[in-house]
Amino acid sequence: MSRNQTIALDAMGGDFGPEVVVPAAHLALKELGQGSLHFIFYGDEHKINVHLKKNPELEAVSTVHHTDKVISSSEKPSVALRTGRDSSMRLAIEAVKNGEADGIVSAGNTGALMATAKMLLKCMPGIHRPAIASVFPTKQGKTIMLDLGANITCDSEILVQFAVLGAVYARAVGGTPNPSVGLLNVGSENMKGHDQVRAAAAVLSSVDFPGKFYGFVEGNDIPMGTVDVVVTDGFTGNIALKVAEGVGGLMGGYLKEALHSSPLAKLGGLLAFRALKQVKERMDARFYNGGMFLGLNGICVKSHGGMDAFGFSRAILVAANLVDNGYNERVAHEIEQLMSQESFFSGLDSRSSEDS
């Protein structure tokens, strides 16, 4: 891949700011090779430069845009919109809007990032709402799930659009030529669930879109990797994501405790150390870091606020991959294709009457 991209980085976001964001950019650059990436850092010039000076190769491909203003992690999105002018986050997003950067990555306040990105970048033509999407480890490999929290309620049309956003990702970036798409529900039968998922299923069964519709999937199908793309509303998706993280943490804690419970268990844990480390790595959230804001006129990726440099570097790579594979151009094409189909609109018509 011949990249020559510019990534805008909100250097002040997350729990650690430039201390993590600058070394993360260096790791991403090492991963893709010199000349692949350029960076514009937004934030406290002095703090950024302290870390930039340590990496001459990075410094050579970086620009620093100074600002004192930072949106705090506790700021309400509405307040961030009103008062966030000149903040590191807003300036970084503006760089994408103005064409100075190809994508933006921030570990800042999720609500503020989404609100600002929506306001500045706006939804792509034909897309009603952006979704937050992320990739998860499964028994089969990887699955992309969306929405993870941007939209508390979603009508069937929005769910269908999310299916397209997810399928295009799986095909263009995930390398799955004909991705399977499942709608998250409480059972696999047609009659299950609320009106919105049933109407979305009816539409997805009848339209051509860049994947194949599998039908309904249940909560356990996410970790099993039954489908390549799991589509759900942001309320359910956010809770599913956090339950998965929580159960992973609980089991990890149980295991650690057990392997310290006796000298024999300790010895066993020591002998199996490498194997256990592999398990830990397979579940390591850092490898899957990078919540993609899909459906906007611009690539925007959210890093988890508590990530270290390695974790943040993965979010940068997620953004770089979306840019490099022309994700947004492909979505534009597929949404146009979708909207040219009569079965899309007739399906939605029947949905409207069911929903009301």
Write out the residues near a copy of itself by the rule CB under 8 A.
76, 137-139, 149, 152-153, 184, 186, 191, 193-194, 218-224, 232, 234-236, 238-255, 258-259, 261-262, 264-265, 267-276, 278-279, 282-283
Helix axis angle for 273-282 and 263-271, nearest 10°, is 70
Shortest reach from residue 192's CB to a copy of itself, in Å = 8
Distance CA 309, CA 300 (A): 18
What the block records as the tokens of 195 is 């009106």
Nearer to a copy of itself, 14 or 43 (CB): 14
Within 10 Å of residue 343's Cβ, how many Cβ atoms?
A: 14
Q: Report the candidate in 105, 95, 119, 132 with the shortest Cα–Cα distance to residue 236.
A: 132
Distance CA 185, CA 217 (A): 6
Within 10 Å of residue 304's Cβ, how many Cβ atoms?
A: 21
Q: Report the candidate in 246, 276, 282, 247 with the shortest Cα–Cα distance to residue 260.
A: 276
Shortest reach from residue 307's CB to a copy of itself, in Å = 17
Nearer to a copy of itself, 1 or 264 (CB): 264
Nearer to a copy of itself, 255 or 332 (CB): 255
Close Cβ partners of 18 (under 8 Å, ≥ 6 residues apart): 11, 12, 41, 43, 44, 47, 48, 50, 51
Distance CA 239, CA 282 (A): 22
Decide: 233 and 250 in contact? Cβ < 8 Å: no
Distance CA 127, CA 160 (A): 10
Nearer to a copy of itself, 4 or 261 (CB): 261
Nearer to a copy of itself, 205 or 278 (CB): 278
Shortest reach from residue 127's CB to a copy of itself, in Å = 21
Shortest reach from residue 89's CB to a copy of itself, in Å = 19
Radius of gyration of the chain (CA): 21
Within 10 Å of residue 14's Cβ, how many Cβ atoms?
A: 27
Angle, vertex CA 51, rays to CA 47 and CA 54, nearest 5? 150
Task: Return the DSSP state at 69.
Answer: B
Sheet holding 5-10, edge to edge: 62-66, 37-43, 5-10, 103-106, 299-302, 291-294, 131-137, 142-146, 229-231, 180-184, 212-217
